[in-house]
Structure 1
Amino acid sequence: MLTRLLACTIAFAAPLAALAQTPPQVSPAVEASAPLEARIGELAQILAGKGDYDAYFAPAFRSQIPKEKFAQINAQIAATAGPMIRIESITPRTPWVADVTIGFRDAIGTVRISVAATEPHQVDGLLFSGLTPRVADMGSVRAAIAALPGRTGFALARLADGAPQMLLADHGDTPLAIGSAFKLVILAELVRAVNAGERRWGDMVTLDGGPLPGGQYMNVPAGTKVTLRELAQKMISISDNSATDILLKHLGRDRVEAMLAVVGIADPKGMTPFPGTLEIFKLKGVPGLADRYLALDPAGRRQFLDGEVARTPIAAISPTLFRDGKPVRIEQLEWFATPTDLIRVMDWLRRNSAAGPGAEVRAILGLNPGIPQPAAAKWKWAGYKGGSEPGVMHMTLLLEGKDGSWYALSSSWNNPAAPVEDVRFAGLVGRAAELAAPQP
């Protein structure tokens, strides 16, 4: 359980954001197979909780998302979108994969469904790429975000040659917990080093077998080699915590901290010292560590991370950490920044990826656009990083208009008293991105 916990938390791993990477190319002649059409026809019953879950989904899917978890996700969707009304469109990607647009009472959902090509043709993939609320204008989106329980911040800016031009902001300068969006600062240090010729994307990192949080590199043997490019891709596109901590250690905590002011974090104290994901898990999940850490000044905290926290084994983390979904000290133990801070970070990445070796970062940021396809289709290109843990949700987008103009949008939601509704928040931010697109 602990392994799974560390793999999923603070990684923005909600199903709506897990729609990942580059979709398969679509041939004009692609038609959905009969089994795919049949499974799509059964989808309404499954979403209503009335279908045969075990017969509909393949064993591998059920092992990752048990029926109880699926029911929780469905409840979130229903609370945000209301009841399903109809399937509005089906776009086959292959005979066995399709993008489905679903009409709910209060929102439009986009789902990618994949069906096994062999009998009994069970569904082996069902990923919500987002819900777009049926709200007509940006004012309604901003009002809905501001009305969420807890604290929120929102900012939209036009990016050009000078400082970002803030177009809209609601509590845009309020520091809030940002979850895995802190990984953008690690990415920025890597971009700086690559552009300076100190490192190359293809440089190999040899893993030492040391303890890592959950992710693709958690259990690989010592001596395994992986490129900086691959680590950065995994850190950003799927928010892999193990890749993150490998990069932080390899690049150096001090160098990453030095980038905070460079990329535009107005008050670096919110991320100084700069903790890794496993360090945060230990501080939150090992009794006594947090109180001793928080009583120290920044220099003392850095020594504490490098000493006592580093020596504390993963097994000491409470196996019940986050199990109940309740927030854990999100106002004290997190990475803190404002929406306008994150806009400046994205602008720094944009300007330092216009040409040269740093241009690779645009491909990395674009692997997971973070918003539903209808919203992303309004833009020429979308780059994204978000973050979440119980009580925390954050989304930041770098967007290129079809007219060549650039924008950044950033929003956070913190509620120390209760879990946040990931689906609702992501839908609102996705709708804001759709409405913000410049007219061609």
Structure 2
Amino acid sequence: MRRLLLCVPALLLAAPAAAQTPPAAPPAVSPAPVTAAPEFRARVDALADILSGKGDYDAYFSDEFRAQIPKAKFDEVNAQLTSANGPFSDLQRLDAKTPWSGVITVEYRDALVDMAIAADPAGEHKVIGLRVLGATAREASLDAVGATLRGLRGSSGYVLAKLGGPAPQVLMQHNADTPFAIGSEFKLVILAELIRATNAGERKWDDIVTLDGKELPGGGYHGKPAGTQVSLRELATQMISISDNSATDILLKTLGRAKVEAMMPVIGIKDPARNRPFMGTAEVFKLKGIADLRRRYLAQGEAGRRAMLDGEVATTPLSAIDHALFRSKQPLSPDTLEWFESPNDLVRVMDWIRRNTEGPKGADARAILSKNPGVPALVASKWQFVGYKGGSEPGVMAMTLLLQGKNGDWYVWSASWNDPTQPVENGRFAGLVGKAAELAAP
């Protein structure tokens, strides 16, 4: 249920505010290439020792950087990079943006990782900013990406389909009809109901929701006082672009669980019964985080589960959750307590959204869907339109892209990876999905 950004949030290395802003792109026409200062180049070259665990951390980074990222935290993030991408190999190249900042491509066994780096022009020229921008898998063909995805531990599935005919035309697939836990991709169903309602004139994107002050899960609206007003457009934007759980639950309540459930067969979900009752994020957090509640809920049929959601689950405070279960970062019933859709389901969902957002009336929904492209900017630049929703929790990773080629053709690329026994490698998976999107561009 966590949001998926350009790269996994845990892999972001913070820096002082001035250094956190990515370097500005060079002008379209430049009289001369930017040359890195020799001292900056030396700092960049020394990054190899830092990433290999052999460098002097205190001597390399500025005091301000180390205040925000102590060495123990850096080592943890560095270990995550290695886990996701294989062992560090080499520094490939530096693209200088200014004499003291640029983007460096770092070579790992399984991926190329771009990092923004900046050094202090004064004093000892210590590094004041280092941030992971994105990873690109090393696979050179769609077949190679598919083979790697098929070889992931646990279970995986994917489909690349071309849209526009009577039915999606499958170009490559594996376990495409197998339902997988999909995390926050379930929020596409809520978006679809909002699209239906606005298209039908039942609601408007500018309609205002007044919060009642009741408990909400984490997100931008958590703790907001009763009387706070927010538009449907803002809620949907936050739900899709940053996977805001509080926005999601407000929208689910506002639109109505029954109407959201009714959309599942309409938009092409083959087995909607598996997702009924359609849960909100707070409900899932409570069920996953309170063992006895989870056990009794899973023992019920649909009617019993509805009764529990409307009664005991609704009245149980979020403070009753055993947060140690989440801090362990181990999978919590992803095979039984989740939202489930197959890759082909998600192709049909995205195709329904595409068809029902054509023309001016669809501008709001398409803007929302494309706000976070889910893939590196270089990959997104190969397409005319990139719409995205992903989802993750320990043991679950899923990413679905609605893509329009520069020739006008439409595609969907959807992939899922589940392992109920241990966490999946989010960064590695995201790199493979991004690489496939790059290679699939017509």
Q: TM-score, length-normalised on structure 1?
A: 0.87
CA deviations on 1:377-399 (whole Å, 9 max, x unpaired) are 22222111110000000010111
1:234 corresponds to 2:238: yes
> Given the superposition, is the C-alpha separation of residues 360 and 73 from structure 1 closer, same or farther in structure 2, using an over 3 Å criterion?
same
Work out the CA distance in 2 between the residues paired with 1:229 and 1:24: 30
Alignment match, 1:364:
368
1:90 corresponds to 2:92: no
SS at match of 1:348: helix
> Given the superposition, is the C-alpha separation of residues 217 and 41 from structure 1 closer, same or farther in structure 2, using an over 3 Å criterion?
farther
Moved more, 111-120 or 261-270: 111-120
Alignment match, 2:316:
312
SS at match of 1:289: helix
Q: How many residues align?
A: 426
1:16 corresponds to 2:4: no
Contact 1:151–1:414 (8 Å) recurs in 2: yes
Work out the CA distance in 2 between the residues paired with 1:256 and 1:53: 53
> Given the superposition, is the C-alpha separation of residues 206 and 117 from structure 1 closer, same or farther in structure 2, using an over 3 Å criterion?
farther
> Given the superposition, is the C-alpha separation of residues 319 and 409 from structure 1 closer, same or farther in structure 2, using an over 3 Å criterion?
same
Alignment match, 2:288:
284
Work out the CA distance in 1 between the residues paired with 2:90 and 2:142: 25
Contact 2:289–2:325 (8 Å) recurs in 1: yes
Work out the CA distance in 2 between the residues paired with 1:397 and 1:156: 10
Alignment match, 2:16:
none
Alignment match, 1:271:
275
Amino acid paired to 1:48: S
Contact 1:391–1:415 (8 Å) recurs in 2: yes
Alignment match, 1:378:
382
> Given the superposition, is the C-alpha separation of residues 347 and 69 from structure 1 closer, same or farther in structure 2, using an over 3 Å criterion?
farther
> Given the superposition, is the C-alpha separation of residues 179 and 57 from structure 1 closer, same or farther in structure 2, using an over 3 Å criterion?
farther
SS at match of 1:202: coil
Moved more, 243-252 or 337-346: 243-252
> Given the superposition, is the C-alpha separation of residues 221 and 87 from structure 1 closer, same or farther in structure 2, using an over 3 Å criterion?
farther
Alignment match, 1:128:
133
> Given the superposition, is the C-alpha separation of residues 40 and 245 from structure 1 closer, same or farther in structure 2, using an over 3 Å criterion?
farther
Moved more, 173-182 or 161-170: 161-170
Contact 2:23–2:102 (8 Å) recurs in 1: no
Map 1:315-326; keep pairs closer than 5 Å: 315-326=319-330
SS at match of 1:388: strand
Work out the CA distance in 2 between the residues paired with 1:97 and 1:227: 40
Amino acid paired to 1:186: I
CA drift of 1:48 comes to 3.3
CA drift of 1:98 comes to 5.0
> Given the superposition, is the C-alpha separation of residues 234 and 53 from structure 1 closer, same or farther in structure 2, using an over 3 Å criterion?
farther
Amino acid paired to 1:414: N
Alignment match, 2:113:
109
1:250 corresponds to 2:254: yes
CA drift of 1:31 comes to 6.2
Q: TM-score, length-normalised on structure 2?
A: 0.86
CA drift of 1:293 comes to 0.9
Work out the CA distance in 2 between the residues paired with 1:95 and 1:227: 44
Alignment match, 2:359:
355
Amino acid paired to 1:274: F
**Aligned counterpart in structure 2 of residue 224 of structure 1, from 224, 228, 231:** 228
Alignment match, 1:191:
195
Contact 1:154–1:171 (8 Å) recurs in 2: yes
RMSD of aligned C-alpha atoms?
Answer: 3.1
Work out the CA distance in 1 between the residues paired with 2:82 and 2:169: 37
> Given the superposition, is the C-alpha separation of residues 160 and 204 from structure 1 closer, same or farther in structure 2, using an over 3 Å criterion?
same
Alignment match, 2:434:
430
> Given the superposition, is the C-alpha separation of residues 100 and 327 from structure 1 closer, same or farther in structure 2, using an over 3 Å criterion?
same
Alignment match, 1:137:
141
CA drift of 1:370 comes to 0.9
Work out the CA distance in 2 between the residues paired with 1:60 and 1:203: 44
CA drift of 1:16 comes to 1.1
CA drift of 1:369 comes to 1.1
User: Greater Rg, structure 1 or structure 2?
Assistant: 2
1:179 corresponds to 2:183: yes
Map 1:23-172; keep pairs closer than 5 Å: 27-28=27-28, 43-49=47-53, 50-52=55-57, 56=61, 67-79=71-83, 80-90=85-95, 92=97, 98-112=102-116, 123=128, 126-129=131-134, 131-172=135-176
Work out the CA distance in 2 between the residues paired with 1:323 and 1:78: 21
Contact 1:362–1:383 (8 Å) recurs in 2: yes
SS at match of 1:288: helix
Amino acid paired to 1:276: G
Contact 1:12–1:389 (8 Å) recurs in 2: no
The share of aligned pairs that are identical, in percent, is 51
